[in-house]
Amino acid sequence: DRRIQHIVEKPDVPPSDFAVTGVYFYDETVWKVIPDLKPSGRGELEITDVNNWYVSHGLMQYDVLDGFWGDAGESIQAYYSVQDFVRSRGANHTS
């Protein structure tokens, strides 16, 4: 079963080998979801809560992309690692 069960924001121990890369497209239903969101412990509305609403209502769709993802915003070392990867292999090339 390849259905998404739940999305966890930045887990210490990832529950799977998949990651949410932060590229989202929503239908008009999102405008009905937003007013019911509750602020998180950080006092902010969280996009993960929107996504989990779609999951819990059986409306989440997704695609698995083959490739590389590096979170360059995680730390300065992560930034340099992503930069080194792109320099060594190139980026945005078509075959």
pLDDT in tens, 53-79: 999 999 999 988 777 777 788 899 989
At 53 the pLDDT is 98
At 45 the pLDDT is 95
Pair 4, 55: CB distance under 8 Å: yes
Q: Report which of residues 34 and 88 the model is more confident about.
A: 34
Pair 69, 19: CB distance under 8 Å: yes
At 92 the pLDDT is 61
pLDDT in tens, 1-60: 678 999 998 889 989 888 888 789 999 999 999 999 999 999 999 999 999 999 999 999
**What token pair was written down for 94?**
């078509």
The residues, any chain, with a CB within 8 Å of residue 21's CB and separated by 6 or more, are: 65, 69
**What token pair was written down for 47?**
């996009």
CB burial string 46-71: b at 16+ within 10 A, e below: eeebbbbbbbeeeeeeeeeeeeeeee
The residue-averaged pLDDT of 83-93 equals 78
